[in-house]
């Protein structure tokens, strides 16, 4: 039996490393990706070792629970305090809201449950008379699953607290921040399997910045970096697909249809970044009866997104790496996290803490 | 309570020291664990304690270890809590270089626990002991009211004899790092068996008493060539290597591509976002040997069925003292750090 093709094949890795070295830009060049899974691949495989000294590779707003605003967490807690069963993904539970996390609310007696998929919340709702609320976070990858449960005759005691976010508007918004110095985007493969390549072209048209969609294996990431550096060298910035085995221009029309049937675009607050136009998803009017914000009609003040001393906002906007934060691995660890980027398993700080983001040479 | 329920489930009376307790011992424990042993007073005598004959070799050291075992699910692909309890304690002795000579077994059982399940557990405990030729010399059973304990907890204490004992801190720069076999099987099999994932896999735990393998290793190399050993249980390979590096103030440099990992383990690991290097193993050891003994050690391990997949995976250096370096398969390099608690699956 011949050995199966491996996406971490060292011979191919060396070939890509050589290509990256040849394409090394003379001046500092910052590549930003927006996906915790990319950061995981980069860090776990020690891929920063392949980067020329001039190239920096940072995670931007790639962790969905990290960019969930405190106010949404506060809302989830208030809903749970009414006696409803609050279901959400495990990562969300420990992210601090303005005062408390859902985990702390749970120890105060709230019924907060971890689910692995939106469908689990439906199961819970079918088994009880109590109100069940699914706190729906995530990018275009998880949003279709939320849409699917709402289109599949959900039980009347189920509602959704939507806090989904869309990636392309965020990519555009980061380029409007002062001092961003972003030279290129490594765009997320998973999100792109859903949305295709067209939204990047629409959003980033005229920005003259390389945008390369990359997969999640070590060779995928190295290949995408090589393509970015080639575009940069040749002065031909464009949207390029380095993950064609999963992504095509149109994306996944079935998932897009689900999204379109259930959601409409809305401005959304990204923790650490601010309000980004048309970057959120709200339930369309016919489905509003399933919107927990309407069902529970709780009035809340603005949330407190910032945490004294925590540099999550800089990490989420790719203006700092985790080890730039004085709290990193000192006062802030996964066991006693200060900021959201240390809580979410896709947060850059958490990944650096677990998998050694500093590079040994 | 119906008589039928009495027959099939553990009741408070089973722990009360009366007739029912005696019946449990007679029916379940003694037939499997009460065989004649070298102990003058052993389990079969049901005395207040057991005697252990002092071994003839006077230069040996006694090694004592204890461990309480809980596992969910109690029966998992490749084993159960009985096999786990036996292997766990025997392996703790084995990686100290100690031949196990006696074990104790204390069971804390929840009222209502099916007697048939207890029977299966005792049977697999006995089987695992037999594989290493170790007797149980004394034991205890307690029954807790329903809800006060989750099913069953087993505590085992093990006594072994080593000439001399091998610590987990004896690493020296230049030593080679060996694994006795594949990594991640137990932890991933348990994750796969958890109901909420609705997974069907062929993953099996590697749970096994490895004293026979370690004995073969120690016989196969010159005395003193094995500098350190450790079984990578909770926290997996990552935790065990970090502990060894910290204690010995050395750097352990590991070649990722040399670590034996079965394909289904790799697959589930990618699916759940959990590193196979961070989940428990229950039938493996990390072996640190002097550089000139590495080839012999590998040969000795591979010659034994439990060590067929043994591999040399790294070297002890002084590059980053107290740290573990992973040279990744694709050619990258990173620190392999101590995992924090139990890994949880990624959500997105």
- Whole-number pLDDT of residue A2: 46
How many angstroms separate the CA atoms of B230 and B287, rounded?
7
Over residues A101-126, the mean pLDDT reads 95
Contact (Cβ atoms closer than 8 angstroms) between residue A251 and residue A45: no
Map tokens 């540099």 to a residue: A311
Q: Which own/partner pairs from A143-148 qualify as long-range (CB within 8 Å, at least 24 positions apart)?
A: A143/A259, A143/A263, A143/A281, A144/A194, A144/A252, A144/A255, A144/A258, A144/A259, A145/A117, A145/A118, A145/A119, A146/A118, A146/A262, A147/A258, A147/A259, A147/A261, A147/A262, A147/A263, A148/A118, A148/A119, A148/A258
| Closest by Cβ to A14, choosing from B319, B331, B336 | B331
B302: CB partners within 8 A, 6+ apart: B308, B310
Q: Which own/partner pairs from B240-243 qualify as long-range (CB within 8 Å, at least 24 positions apart)?
A: B240/B168, B240/B286, B241/B177, B241/B286, B241/B324, B241/B336, B242/B323, B242/B324, B242/B336, B242/B337, B242/B338, B243/B168, B243/B338
Residue B25 has pLDDT above 80, yes or no: no
Query: Are the beta carbons of A10 and B273 separated by less than 8 Å?
Result: no
Map tokens 């392996």 to a residue: B91
Chain B residue with CA closest to A89: the answer is B347
Query: Are the beta carbons of B344 and A43 separated by less than 8 Å?
Result: no
Judged by a CB distance cut-off of 8 A, whether residue A47 touches chain B is yes
Chain A residue with CA closest to B325: the answer is A360
Q: Identify which of B205, B209, B79 has the alpha carbon closest to the alpha carbon of residue B132.
A: B209
**Quick check: do A10-64+168-241 and A70-166+259-296 share a fold?**
yes
Q: Say which CATH superfamily domain B3-47+57-162 falls into.
A: PurM-like, N-terminal domain (3.30.1330.10)
The CATH class that applies to domain A10-64+168-241 reads alpha beta
The pLDDT tens digits for B237-282 are: 999 999 999 999 999 999 999 999 999 999 898 888 788 999 999 9
Look up the ipTM and state it: 0.76
By three-state DSSP, how is residue A38 classified? helix
Query: Are the beta carbons of A345 and B330 separated by less than 8 Å?
Result: no
In eight-state DSSP terms, residue A154 is: -
- Chain A hits for B322, Cβ within 8 Å: none
Contact (Cβ atoms closer than 8 angstroms) between residue B319 and residue B253: yes
Residue A354 has pLDDT above 90, yes or no: no
Judged by a CB distance cut-off of 8 A, whether residue A346 touches chain B is yes
| Closest by Cβ to A45, choosing from B320, B325, B328 | B328
The pLDDT tens digits for A54-70 are: 999 999 999 999 999 99
Map tokens 């050619």 to a residue: B331
- Whole-number pLDDT of residue B53: 78
Element (H, E) at A233: helix A218-234
B31 or A79: which leads in pLDDT: A79
Q: What percent of chain B has pLDDT above 90?
A: 69
A 236-255 residues with CB < 8 A to B = none
Question: Whole-number mean pLDDT of chain B?
Answer: 89
Confidence of residue B5 (pLDDT cuts 50, 70, 90): very low
Query: Are the beta carbons of B348 and A17 separated by less than 8 Å?
Result: no
How far CA B221 is from CA of B225, B230, B244, in Å, comes to 6, 18, 21
Rounded to the nearest 10°, the torsion over CA A282, A285, A291, A296 is 120
Q: What's the gap in Å between the CA of B65 and the closest CA on chain A?
A: 29
A2 or A354: which leads in pLDDT: A354
Q: Interface of chain B against chain A, CB under 8 Å?
A: 196-197, 257, 273, 275, 319-320, 323, 325-337, 339-341, 344-348
Q: What's the gap in Å between the CA of A349 and the closest CA on chain B?
A: 14
Confidence of residue B19 (pLDDT cuts 50, 70, 90): confident
The pLDDT tens digits for B205-237 are: 999 999 999 999 999 999 999 999 999 999 999
The pLDDT tens digits for B93-103 are: 999 999 999 99
How far CA A90 is from CA of A279, B80, B108, B195, B348, in Å, comes to 23, 28, 32, 16, 10
How many angstroms separate the CA atoms of A170 and B59, rounded?
71
Q: What angle do CA B204, B207, B213 make, to 5 degrees?
A: 120
Judged by a CB distance cut-off of 8 A, whether residue A103 touches chain B is no
Q: Identify which of A91, A25, A3 has the alpha carbon closest to the alpha carbon of residue A226.
A: A25
How many angstroms separate the CA atoms of B6 and B28, rounded?
15
Contact (Cβ atoms closer than 8 angstroms) between residue B135 and residue B39: yes
Tokens of B73: 């699910």
How many angstroms separate the CA atoms of B238 and B305, rounded?
25
pTM of the model: 0.81
Residue B31 has pLDDT above 90, yes or no: no
Q: What angle do CA B322, B323, B328 make, to 5 degrees?
A: 160
Question: Whole-number mean pLDDT of chain A?
Answer: 94
Tokens of B30: 């003694």
Map tokens 């009741």 to a residue: B11
The pLDDT tens digits for B276-307 are: 999 999 999 999 999 999 999 999 999 999 99
Alpha helices, DSSP H only, in chain B? 3-8, 19-24, 30-33, 81-94, 115-132, 185-193, 211-220, 236-248, 263-272, 294-302
Tokens of A219: 């060779």
Residue B83 has pLDDT above 50, yes or no: yes
Instruction: Domain ranges for chain B, please list them.
Output: 3-47+57-162, 176-335
Instruction: Domain ranges for chain A, please list them.
Output: 10-64+168-241, 70-166+259-296, 313-355
Query: Are the beta carbons of B326 and A190 separated by less than 8 Å?
Result: no
- Whole-number pLDDT of residue A359: 64
A147 or B28: which leads in pLDDT: A147
- Chain A hits for B332, Cβ within 8 Å: 13, 45-50, 218
Contact (Cβ atoms closer than 8 angstroms) between residue A265 and residue A166: yes
CATH topology of domain A70-166+259-296: Rossmann fold (3.40.50)
Over residues B188-217, the mean pLDDT reads 88
- Whole-number pLDDT of residue A265: 96
| Closest by Cβ to A43, choosing from B323, B334, B346 | B334
The CATH class that applies to domain B176-335 reads alpha beta
Contact (Cβ atoms closer than 8 angstroms) between residue B93 and residue B63: yes
Q: Give the strand pairing for A85-89 and A132-138.
A: parallel
Confidence of residue B9 (pLDDT cuts 50, 70, 90): confident
| Closest by Cβ to A8, choosing from B329, B335, B347 | B329
B49 or B319: which leads in pLDDT: B319
- Chain B hits for A89, Cβ within 8 Å: 347-348
Q: Identify which of A90, A115, A53, A239 has the alpha carbon closest to the alpha carbon of residue B343.
A: A90
Map tokens 């069902």 to a residue: A295
- Whole-number pLDDT of residue A4: 61
Residue A361 has pLDDT above 60, yes or no: no
- Whole-number pLDDT of residue A278: 96
Over residues B132-149, the mean pLDDT reads 90
Neighbour count for residue B131 (Cβ, 10 Å): 17
Over residues A242-265, the mean pLDDT reads 96
Confidence of residue B345 (pLDDT cuts 50, 70, 90): low
Lowest model confidence (mean pLDDT) among A158-167, B75-84, B193-202: B193-202
Confidence of residue B344 (pLDDT cuts 50, 70, 90): low
Tokens of B82: 């009985």
Bond prior to B73 in cis (omega within 30° of 0): yes
Q: What's the gap in Å between the CA of A49 and the closest CA on chain B?
A: 6
Q: What's the gap in Å between the CA of A225 and the closest CA on chain B?
A: 15
Query: Are the beta carbons of B197 and A50 separated by less than 8 Å?
Result: no
Q: What's the gap in Å between the CA of B339 and the closest CA on chain A?
A: 7
Residue A1 has pLDDT above 50, yes or no: no
- Whole-number pLDDT of residue B57: 62
Chain A residue with CA closest to B344: the answer is A90
């Amino acid at each position: 039996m011949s050995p199966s093709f491996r996406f971490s094949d060292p011979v191919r890795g060396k070939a890509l490393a050589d290509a990256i070295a040849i394409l090394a830009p003379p001046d500092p060049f910052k590549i930003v990706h927006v996906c915790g899974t990319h950061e995981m691949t980069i860090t776990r495989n020690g891929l920063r070792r392949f980067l020329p000294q001039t190239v920096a590779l940072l995670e931007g707003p790639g962790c969905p629970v990290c960019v969930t605003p405190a106010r949404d967490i506060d809302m989830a807690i208030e809903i749970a305090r009414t006696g409803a069963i609050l279901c959400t993904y495990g990562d969300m539970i420990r992210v601090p809201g303005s005062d408390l996390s859902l985990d702390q609310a749970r120890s105060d007696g709230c019924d907060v449950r971890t689910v692995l998929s939106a469908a689990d919340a439906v199961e819970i709702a079918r088994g009880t008379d109590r109100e069940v609320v699914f706190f729906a976070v995530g990018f275009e990858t998880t949003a279709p699953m939320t849409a699917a449960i709402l289109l599949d005759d959900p039980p009347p005691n189920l509602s959704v607290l939507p806090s989904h976010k869309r990636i392309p508007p965020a990519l555009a918004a980061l380029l409007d921040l002062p001092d961003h110095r972003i030279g290129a985007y490594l765009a997320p493969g998973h999100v792109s399997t859903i949305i295709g390549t067209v939204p990047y072209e629409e959003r980033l048209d005229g920005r003259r910045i390389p945008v390369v969609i990359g997969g999640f294996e070590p060779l995928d990431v190295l290949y995408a970096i090589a393509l970015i550096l080639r575009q940069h060298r040749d002065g031909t910035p464009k949207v390029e697909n380095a993950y064609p085995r999963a992504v095509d221009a149109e994306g996944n029309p079935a998932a897009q249809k689900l999204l379109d049937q259930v959601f409409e675009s809305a401005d959304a607050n990204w923790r650490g970044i601010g309000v980004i136009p048309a970057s959120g998803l709200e339930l369309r009017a016919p489905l509003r009866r399933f919107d927990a914000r309407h069902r529970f009609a709780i009035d809340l003040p603005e949330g407190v997104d910032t945490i004294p001393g925590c540099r999550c906002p800089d990490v989420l906007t790719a203006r700092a790496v985790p080890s730039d934060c004085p709290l990193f691995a000192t006062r802030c660890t996964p066991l006693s996290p200060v900021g959201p980027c240390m809580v979410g398993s896709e947060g850059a700080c958490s990944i650096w803490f677990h998998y050694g983001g500093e590079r040994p040479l | 309570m119906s008589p039928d329920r009495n027959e099939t489930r553990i009741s408070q009376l089973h722990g009360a020291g009366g007739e029912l307790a005696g019946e449990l011992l007679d029916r379940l424990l003694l037939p499997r664990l009460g065989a004649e042993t070298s102990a003058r007073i052993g389990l079969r005598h049901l005395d207040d304690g057991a005697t252990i004959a002092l071994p003839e070799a006077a230069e040996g050291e006694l090694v004592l270890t204890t461990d309480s075992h809980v596992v969910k699910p109690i029966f998992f692909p490749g084993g159960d809590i009985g096999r786990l309890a036996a292997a766990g304690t025997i392996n703790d002795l084995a990686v100290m270089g100690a031949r196990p000579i006696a074990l104790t077994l204390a069971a804390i059982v929840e009222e209502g626990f099916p007697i048939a399940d207890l029977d299966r557990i005792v049977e697999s405990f006995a089987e695992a002991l037999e594989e290493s030729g170790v007797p149980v010399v004394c034991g205890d059973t307690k029954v807790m009211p329903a809800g006060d304990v989750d099913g069953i907890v087993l505590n085992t204490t093990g006594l072994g004899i080593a000439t001399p004992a091998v610590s987990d801190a004896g690493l020296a720069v230049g030593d080679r790092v060996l694994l006795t076999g594949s990594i991640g099987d137990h932890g991933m099999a348990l994750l796969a068996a958890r109901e909420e994932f609705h997974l069907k896999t062929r993953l099996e735990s590697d749970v096994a008493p490895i004293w026979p393998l370690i004995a073969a290793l120690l016989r196969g190399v010159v005395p003193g060539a094995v500098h350190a050993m450790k079984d990578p249980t909770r926290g997996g390979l990552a935790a065990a290597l970090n502990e060894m590096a910290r204690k010995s103030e050395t750097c352990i440099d590991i070649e990722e591509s040399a670590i034996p990992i079965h394909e289904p383990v790799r697959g589930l690991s990618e699916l759940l976002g959990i590193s196979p290097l961070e989940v428990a193993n229950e039938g493996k050891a990390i072996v640190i040997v002097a550089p000139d003994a590495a080839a012999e050690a590998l040969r000795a391990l591979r010659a034994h069925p439990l060590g067929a997949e043994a591999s040399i995976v790294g070297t002890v250096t002084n590059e980053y003292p107290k740290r573990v370096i992973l040279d990744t398969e694709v050619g990258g390099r990173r620190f392999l750090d101590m995992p924090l608690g139990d890994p949880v699956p990624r959500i997105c």
